[in-house]
Structure 1
C-alpha cells in the first residue's frame, strides 16, 4: 500500500498499519515484543523492581523494528505516527489474540 499523505484518525490509520505488517514473521516479532513487555511490566510491579520499566521501550520497539528493517524491509510507522503506531501495535495484538486479524486483513484486501 502506498504511504498515504496524512492520516487524521486511528480508523484511517489502522488499514495502513496492517499493510505495513503483511509478513507473518514481522507480526510474530511484534507479538513477541508485546508479550515480553507485558511480562517484564508484571515482573517489575510484582517484584517492586521498577527499574525494569526502563527496558520496556527497548523490548517492544526492538522486536518490532527488527521485523520492519530485516523482514518487511520498510520504515516503521512509529517515525511518522508515533501515537497511532503504538496504539496500532496493541490493537493488532488484540486482533491476533481474539482471532479477528485475518478478518480485518481481508476487509482491507490485505490477505
Structure 2
C-alpha cells in the first residue's frame, strides 16, 4: 500500500464529524502537552500526550465511527495523517479530500 492509498483508507475511517472532532481535540492537546513538557522540563507530560492524543482518537473510532483505528496497522502513517487532517481542516481544505475518498469506494 502506498501512502496515497493509505490516505484514502484513513479518510474513509474518519467520515463522521464526531470522530474527526475527537481526533482534532486529541491532536491539539497532545501538541500542547509536548510543548508544556519542553517548556517546563516536566517530561512526565510526554506519556500524557500519547494517552490523551490516542485515547480521544480511539474513543472516536470505537464509540462514534465503529471501526478499528488505523494506528494498529500503520502507526507512523496514521500519526502523519492525524496532523495532515488537522491542518487541512484548520485551513478549510479538508472537504474535497473527504469527498474524493468517499467517491473512490
TM-score by length of 2: 0.91
Is structure 2 residue 25 aligned with structure 1 residue 32?
yes
**d(CA) in 2 for partners of 1:19 and 1:109?**
7
**d(CA) in 1 for partners of 2:74 and 2:44?**
27
Q: What stretches of structure 2 of length at least 5 have no aligned partner?
A: none
Q: What stretches of structure 1 of length at least 5 have no aligned partner?
A: 1-6
- 1:1-111 alignment, distance < 5 Å: 7=1, 9-109=2-102
Matched position secondary structure for 2:102: coil
**d(CA) in 1 for partners of 2:22 and 2:100?**
23
Matched position secondary structure for 1:37: helix
Q: Which has the higher contact order (CA 8 A, sep 6+)?
A: 2
Q: Is the 8 A contact 2:10 2:81 kept in 1?
A: yes
RMSD of aligned Cα (Å): 1.2
Matched position secondary structure for 1:21: coil
Matched position secondary structure for 1:50: coil
Large movers: runs of 4+ above 6 Å? none
Q: CA deviation at 1:28?
A: 0.1
